[in-house]
Structure 1
């Protein structure tokens, strides 16, 4: 990374896309009308959100039209801030520490960008904090097997990975028949090969493997998979066929594989970008809500609708 890329990398993310990610859980109502959003009961005020937005306007990253911010601009800002508040809780839970040395380095790198000193103080602080969060999250180590097993069995997505198979059919009635067959003891892969309309299922047995890995990072699935499918996938308990789940492709029965079948793949997937994956998992098991003024938080995709 070049020195000048530090701020150039973050500002577009604040302006046009999410910095990174939740899943599962209900979308509750914020406890105070003055809150823009809450994460596990901890609020982030509308005033603080407006201060960030105003700083982005001053920096020329977003514009106001008739005194308001377009939803396409506001949503990514909220998503980034939701993730940052979740990050603050995440590092406390897992005992990660932000160091003075790392913060000083982030400030030094940010200041090397000629535009940085022209940004409002609010935005300067946010940029440094977001980059410090990235550096701190990167220090996370893969938890022990027993810790991962506990997390995964409570909610597979909380471990930051999903290890999925599915059966895709055209109608809800067909999906209900598939579920009944599975509940009767039929093997998931056999049913997928016989009943799924997904062409690859004939050989894959319905597995949504990531190459040679049965498991995939939660965040990559949130970005690449149908949102309605993800609602069912994230809600699925380990080893329990779940559905019917409707998506744009049809009706699914989803299986989140038991820990004993995929434990090696979980550890392997988590060995890369461990902190980012586990932060996504932390958000997956968090109670996140957004003031209805801004929309509805969709936990399964970690985005606003």
Structure 2
């Protein structure tokens, strides 16, 4: 995915080697117990980092060659560790606010996400279970990975409920675009590893081949099973707060440069690889009802305050990275 929630960092001769390096180095012996970071006195171990990397492999096939690159691997491991630090900070911040997440909530969130994964990322439950076994991913690790989203939801809900009607109305007055459905793009994309591959695929499309067919054939994004469809996902026009942006900046900059419906972008580079983006159509902004606008503003205000709270919490945290 190319969402700003970097739930994931973009990641076949290298597949086996990479699996051995990252699955074995942290399991068993001193390596597994080695502490790679401490966050307010809580440790993240090498084994936990390796487990997190394996879960990323489940969703991001492009991770394998990137981790197999000796020059890039330390940087990627550092980025992945930083995501783990952020997740741990989120849980600690929630605890400080007396926000709790029960096992039942975690399980329910996981089951909902699991149902979505089957049919989108995987063709069947059997395919998903096979891949979990191949990567030696326990259900517990997968639940923990996916379930971190609950903490984000609950933290935002905390600040939404704390906002007064006056604060929400003032926020909406200062940010009237939250009283509208933002203008959006209906996009499809193909993700490839190199610029040369993207250029070659673009030439095939220009020559008359179907974009969706090539997405299924070539794209390394798991959503290629949906023929590269991204849906109404790109915010346009209005100044939307950074915390609400859905895609990484480079992707949206490339998409916004496309002028005409049906047009294909030149290759666009992001941290995930090289994208070909197809604009199906632009969806204009529409006014929300007063109540919908208020709810939208409350959500945005809560999200903004949660982000500000987390930034302060992180600034004041005692974090030691040991990679």
- TM-score range (shorter-chain normalised) is 0.3 to 0.5
* Structure ranking higher on relative contact order (CA contacts 8 Å, 6+ apart): 1
In the superposition, the TM-score normalised over structure 1's length comes to 0.41
In the superposition, the TM-score normalised over structure 2's length comes to 0.39
More helix by share: 2
